[in-house]
Every structure is written in C-alpha cells, then in structure tokens.
Chains A and B, each alone.
Chain A
Amino acid sequence: MESGESAEEKTAPASAAQRRAEIRRRKLLMNSEDRMNRIVGFTKIEAETKAGASLRPTEPRFHLDLDRTEWSSSLPRPTPFLPEASGLSSRSHSATPERRGSPLPDSSEPHAGSIEDDIIGVRQRPRGERASDDVGGPPREGLQKYLSRFDDAMKLRGQLANEKATQEGESEPEEFDPFRVFRLVGSILLAIFVRVFVCKYLSIFAPFLTLELAYMGLSKYFPKVEKKTQTTVLTAALLLSGIPSEVINRSMDTYRRMGDVFADLCAYFFTFIISNEILLLIGSETPDGGAGPQ
C-alpha cells in the first residue's frame, strides 16, 4: 500500500510538470500565430473581430497538434497493432507468437468497434477545428502570395544579373535568322524593281504593302528560330505587377513583328532613294510629273 501511495505521489508531480510544459508550449504557439499575422499584415483588430465571429467555439489551428497529442496520449492510438496490444493483455499466454506479432483481421474483429470509435473520435476533433482553418486561411494565403512574389522577384533579379553579365561578356545573340535576311533582300530588290519599272504608274508603297502581305503568308514555310526571351527590367516589372507571362510574350512578339516591318520599310525606302539618286547621276532619265529637282 505504501509503495502504491509513493508511486502515486511520484506520478503526481510528473503530471504537473507535464501540464506546465504543455501550458508553456501553448503560450509559445500562440505568440507564433500573432507573429505570423503581423508579418502578413493581418491586423489584430481584424483578427479579434473574426475570432469573435467564428472562432469562439473552436480553437485556433496552431493548437491542433497540441490537442491531438493530448488527446492521443490519453486515448489509445488507432494502430493496426491495437488488437495485438489488447489481445496480449486480455488473452492467455498460450497464444502463438505468430498470432501475437501479426495484425490479423480475425483478431481485430472483436476490437473493431473500439477502433472505429477511436477513428471517429479522431475525425470529430479536426471537424471542430475546421472553422479555425478558414479564419487562418486568408493570412496564410496572403503570406504564401507574398512569399511566392518574393521568390519570383529574387529569381528575376538573378536572371537579370546573369543576362547583364552574359551581354557584357559575350556578343549579342544573332538576330539575322534566314527569314529576316530573306525579307530584307526581298525589300531591296523590290525597291530597285519599283524604281526602274513601277514608280511612274503608282505609289511606291503599294508594292511594299503587297510584299509584306506575301511575307506574312511565307513566314510559315521558313524554319522558326526560337528566340530566347530576354528578361529585361521592363518584363520583370510587368511580371511582378501581375500581368501574365503569356500576355507579355505575345506583346513582345507583336512588337518584334512591327520592328521587322519597320526595318523592311526603311530598307525599301532607302534603296529606292539611293537608286533614284544613282539613276539621276547616271542621267538615264529625268523624273516626270510632280516637283522636279531644281
């Protein structure tokens, strides 16, 4: 009897110590939740109002683990070996070792009810705490969004730094793919042809527009050179501001095509004027109509 009383006295301070440790852990976890809310920018007032509205009947999410462990420490865990454990205690020692060690379904039948009750108990607990998940959702989402944006910004910064280093160290990537060369050569040849044969009859820009339309159709017959999308400060800023990358890529592609058309126009007009001047120099013909030179 006395030994039993002393054992009880020993276990009492241990459980008190355990309780104090649990209280300390709870306090720490509560502080961490406040800290997280402050990082996310979820103000205390909003938290209190939301907590007042929905949180009172349930506990915050950070306490989920604690409560689960508490609960699990008090109740037996729903393990496959539970029947074995209960079987060992209740059954006789004449049971075979194999039966002892194996989680046989036959042995679990009489204890299925208790296991199911345990599982239902485990499930009920999280259900009660699901409301707290909803409240913790927005700050979590905000934090995750912030972190993902921060990661994107760091990646883009790294990319920009690398691009700058490669641009300074190496030569620029080749822009003259075969189709571009074909376009420029075609524009030059057309300009010469138009100056010699066509310009007397119609505007020089009409054949140019026809040529560009032809190029649009011919572009699919040329091998597509995949141009590496350069990450510039502008594209990085657009990405971080929330514009999808597809939209940016399409816009860049459109601007690139407009640039190609402009380059063709410049080459065409330049060649036309130069050929006109050369012909005037040679003196093969004088321009008719309009304002002549001096």
Chain B
Amino acid sequence: MAAGYAWFLVLGSVFLCNLMKTLLPSISSFLSKLVQTDAELESEMRAEVQEMKKEQLSISMMDEFARYARLERKINKMTDKLKTHVKSRTGQQAKMKWVVNIAFYILQAALMVSLIWKYYSDPVTVVPSRWIAPVERLVAFPTGVAGGVGITCWLVVCNKVVTLGLYAVS
C-alpha cells in the first residue's frame, strides 16, 4: 500500500532536479575555475599588454619609429599568445560544461528510474476513487489501485508545477 510520504519524496526529488538544472551553468563555471591552474598567467599577460600599449602611446611614431615598431611587434606577439590561451581556456570551459550536463542528466535519469521502480505497484497517495472519476485509471497508472495516484502521473504534475514555481521565483 502507499507509503505515508511517498508523494513528498517524489516532490522533493523533482524539486531538487529542477533546482540543479537551473544551477548547472554556475556549477560548471565553478568547477572549471577549480580545474584551471594558469588563471594568473592570463591576467599577467593582459596587464603586460596594457602596459606596452600605454608605453606605445607615449612614443612618437615619427621620431622613434624603430622603437615603436619593436613595441608593436611585442604587443602583437603577446596578443597572439593571449588569444591562444583564452581559446584553450574557453575550450576547457565548454568541455567542463558538457561533462557536467551529461553527468547531471545521467543522475536525473537514474533517480527517475529508481523512483518509478520503487513505486511501480504502489501509489504515492490514495484518495476515494469517485473523487477522480472518470480518469481514475489514467491517474492510477501503472499501479491499478482504485483511487490511487500513480508515480507517472505524480511525476508529470510535480515537474510542471515545480518548473512553473521556479520560473516565477527566478
């Protein structure tokens, strides 16, 4: 027969999954920052480029062309290096985002399957069958218990309500 708080367990699981889904981007960026080791190098390179550009502004191109050109070459070299670094960092971030998303969806699928497996034959809650006529069979699927609320119906309802609620809150 139905456990006392099965409906609450399913509701809580669905709420947790949807909450995690909204937090996925921040989780993936946090993890990528943890994994990344040479973050300081990039900021140093940026600072160096800024300094060189400032120095270049102070030089007159007409009077000290050689120095200007040398500095220009240095700036270009450093900018290219920085671009390569940024490219690899964004690639890493994209990879991390992809990994986090895949892991989340696998966990979510596992949780849903386990819930369905657990409550396949037991309804999450029971009400008098005449209350939910004429769709009591559909609501009770797959338990077959008269007046029961099946796991599939409850999952769908909770998912929709939690999505609406989280959207309203955010």
Interface residues in chain A, defined as those with a beta carbon under 8 Å from any beta carbon in chain B: 175-176, 184, 199, 203-205, 262-263, 266-267, 269-270, 273, 276-277, 287-294
Contacts and interface: CB of A to CB of B under 8 A. Distances in A.
A277 B1 CA distance: 16
A290 B130 contact: yes
Contacts, number: 69
B53 to A, nearest CB: 28
Interface of B: 1-2, 7-8, 125-135, 145-149, 154, 156-158, 160-161, 164, 167-168
A291 B148 CA distance: 8
Contacts of B158: 270
Contacts of A288: 128
A203 B146 contact: no
B127 A267 contact: no
Interface centre among B2, B126, B145 (most CB of A within 10 A): B126
Contacts of A290: 127-131, 146-147
Contact of A199 (B1, B131, B156, B160): B131
A2 to B, nearest CB: 72
B164 A184 contact: yes
B157 A266 contact: yes
Contacts of A277: 7-8, 125
A275 to B, nearest CB: 11
Contacts of B1: 293-294
Listed from nearest, the 5 A-B pairs whose CB atoms lie closest are A290-B128, A266-B160, A291-B147, A290-B129, A203-B133
B161 A291 contact: no
Contacts of B147: 290-291
A289 B160 contact: no
A205 B138 CA distance: 13
Contacts of A293: 1-2, 125-126
Contacts of A175: 167
Given A205-B135, A293-B2, A176 B168 contact: yes
